[in-house]
């Protein structure tokens, strides 16, 4: 709510030796959207989230979503109950989370469900992570199997794109250390 402009001041941290820190910042003339467009992906869920039922799970996800941390495996935990699966996925999309992760190749009923709903572009499949070069053959084989059995479902991986790993994945998940 601050008007645009230059601001300056200082902060004093009191302790055995007080420290004064000068602060200068520029406030720009815009506001962030109430519905976030960017999230930090990667909050992996465990059974604590789901043990008390769907409503409790949605409530527990709230603080993560409020702080733009996306629980990207949330719907996957309910892939045995497609009604709950849909409820979680639609809740996350409503809150601004763009993608959900399927761990491994999905069962054909889940794949068929996603395809019939037109949701293939809203899910990515992650079945492995950061392979060693010696594992590239197996990764290519498994990715080709997903592409053959689940056309339109993208495979994602945290592995820097290079000429020698073409075919391992469709979507690159960059790690912070790759941003240098």
Sequence-separated (6 or more) residues with CB below 8 Å from residue 86? 117
**Mean pLDDT in residue range 136-141:** 90
Q: What is the pTM of this model?
A: 0.74
**Mean pLDDT in residue range 138-147:** 93
Task: Flag whether pLDDT at 4 surpasses 80.
Answer: yes
Identity of the highest mean pLDDT range in 39-53, 111-125, 147-161: 111-125
* Calpha distance 156→94 (Å, rounded): 23
19-28, 54-63, 158-167: the lowest-pLDDT one: 158-167
169: nearest Cα among 155, 149, 153, 179: 155
């Amino acid at each position: 709510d601050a008007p645009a402009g230059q601001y300056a001041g200082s902060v004093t941290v009191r302790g055995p030796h007080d420290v004064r820190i000068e602060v200068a910042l520029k406030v720009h003339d815009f506001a962030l959207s109430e519905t976030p467009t960017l999230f930090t992906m990667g909050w992996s869920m465990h059974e604590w989230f789901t043990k008390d039922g769907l409503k409790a799970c949605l409530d527990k996800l709230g603080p993560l979503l409020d702080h733009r941390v996306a629980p990207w495996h949330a719907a996957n935990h309910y892939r045995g109950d497609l009604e709950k699966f849909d409820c979680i996925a639609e809740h996350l999309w409503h809150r601004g989370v763009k993608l959900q992760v399927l761990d491994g190749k999905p069962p054909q009923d889940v794949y068929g469900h996603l395809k019939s709903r037109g949701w293939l572009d809203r899910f990515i499949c992650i079945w492995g992570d950061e392979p060693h070069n010696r594992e590239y053959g197996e990764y290519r084989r498994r990715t080709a199997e997903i592409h053959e059995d689940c056309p339109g479902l993208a495979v994602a991986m945290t592995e820097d794109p290079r000429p020698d790993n073409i075919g391992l994945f469709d979507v690159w998940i960059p790690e912070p250390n790759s941003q240098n």
